[in-house]
Amino acid sequence: MERPTPLYLDNGATSYPKPDAVYDSMVSYMRGNGASPGRGNYARAMEADRLVYETRKAIAELLGVPRPGQVIFTCNATESINMALKGYLRQGDRVLTTGYEHNAVMRPLKKLEARRQVQVERIPCTAEGALDMTAAKAKLREGVRLLAVSHASNVIGCVTPLDEAVAAAHECGAAVLVDAAQTAGVCPIDVTAVPVDMLAFTGHKGLLGPTGTGGLYLRKGFELSTLKEGGTGGMSLSPFPPDDPPDRYEAGTMNISGIAGLHASVRYLLDIGVDAVRAHEAELTGLLLDGFESIPRLTYYGPRSAGRIGLVSFNIEGHDPHKVSMRLDRDYGIMVRSGLHCAPEAHRLLGTAPTGAVRASVGYFNQPSDIARLVGALGEIASRPPD
């Protein structure tokens, strides 16, 4: 039997395809330069240095960061979140978070609960991801030192009202860490307008860059203890890391080929505009929700509103989500992700743990015809007995 044309709808895990300029930029750096930035004094090392700086600058422009040096490169959002939580939280600190956090937040917090007796509390929220801000404010007033929130849930698709959360936290003297893994590049973000203290992002999802890239924005003057120590290319006589960001947090040679790709992808996003991406994905998400509502016995999760991001988790009554995903791939060539999506808390909230759900997630390069194809395939699967 002929394999159907592949259709990628797992952009919530990692975006595919990337803009052509991303592949070109990576190959161009690897073949034509290949030098280590921040270390040598030869012209090519200086060029590599400039490439890294221009990437910081592009990201700063995209996220409203005042100075490029406030963008610290990491290998993904998980590393950024670990850097933020472990670098900021001290013995016995209280942390407030949501009930739909990814394991990138929950697992480091679990470790800090054991190692530093950090107390973790959650903001009550509905199955559609609406946070009880009255309860949140009451908890914040009880001496919380950090509010750690996802900008958007990778399961429910809801978007956290950051302006309200940040204002409430700062009023009570708590710092704010935002996990923007699902929103950087697909939702407008301005860390100057909404003054978060730390914002973690990854390069390979909405930013359309390669895997192994990511970063942490740090508000000016906001200092963390370091997650790792090592060579930074300067002040080598000192046994300690330098005081100033970004070098303080970037020990070791960076993923320059990845950063070269990220430079091209962020430039691409700046050219087309995040608003255009958001509008396109909102249109596709609307089609997805309309289509899902037409399928008997299919339940999708999260709000029916334009405010959600471009991913929708769902289940078909009587069907195992893993088998639905496998059938979509095998019989229709459609790639979606099933399971718990590394966010068991969110699935507990939805009542879908431990098996989870199927998640379709759109990207900038998907078209309405892709959504029609997925909806048609799911309609057929739902009308037949389970595997």
Partner 1 sequence: MFLQSIDILDVDLCVQLPDKFVARTRASADLKEIMPYLNGMFRTSVYNHGDGSIKFTNDRVEYTIINDQVNIAKFANRTELHELLDWLRDLINDTYESRAEMTPLYARRKPVPVFFIYSLLPGTNCQMCGEKTCMAFAARLNKLEADIDACPPLSGQEYDASRRKLEGAFA
Q: Would you name the residues annotated as active-site residues?
A: 342
Pairing of β 311-316 and β 298-300: antiparallel
Stretch that binds partner 1, among 3-11, 49-57, 132-140, 174-182 (CB under 8 A): 49-57
Residue written as token pair 């890391």? 241
C-alpha 353/C-alpha 348 separation (Å) is: 5
Shortest Cβ 57–partner 1 spacing (Å): 8
Q: Which is nearer to partner 1, 41 or 91 (CB)?
A: 41
Task: Choose between 220 and 304: whose C-beta lies nearer to partner 1.
Answer: 220
> Which 216-255 positions form the footprint of partner 1 (CB under 8 A)?
232-235, 237-238, 242-244, 246-247
With beta carbons less than 8 A apart as the criterion, state whether 94 and 145 touch: yes
Least distance between partner 1 and beta carbon 25 (Å): 19
Nearer to partner 1, 27 or 46 (CB): 46
Residues 50-89: x where in contact with partner 1 by CB under 8 A, - otherwise, as a string: x-xx--xx---------xxx--------------------
How big is the site for partner 1, counted in residues (CB under 8 A)? 24
β-strand partners of 339: 357
Torsion of CA 338, 341, 346, 347, to 10 degrees: 30
CA distance 343 to 347: 7
User: In the complex, what is the shortest distance from the CB of residue 51 to partner 1, in angstroms, rounded to a whole number?
Assistant: 11
Query: Whole-angstrom Cα distance, residue 132 to residue 124?
Result: 6
Residue 55: CB atoms within 10 Å: 29
In the region spanning residues 10 to 39, those forming contacts with partner 1, defined by CB under 8 A, are 37-38
- 248 in Cβ contact with 54 (< 8 Å): no
Q: Could you give the C-alpha distances from 249 to 41, 42, 108, 117, 120, in angstroms and in order?
A: 22, 24, 18, 25, 26
Q: What residues numbered 337-376 form the site for partner 1, per CB under 8 A? A: none
Query: Which phi and psi angles does 215 have, rounded to 5°?
Result: -170, 170
Least distance (Å) between residue 267 CB and partner 1: 16
Would you count residue 41 as binding partner 1 (CB under 8 A)? yes
Q: How far is the CB of 248 from partner 1 (least distance, A)?
A: 9
The residue (of 80 and 97) whose beta carbon lies closer to partner 1 is 80
Binding site for partner 1 (CB under 8 A): 37-38, 41, 46, 49-50, 52-53, 56-57, 67-69, 232-235, 237-238, 242-244, 246-247
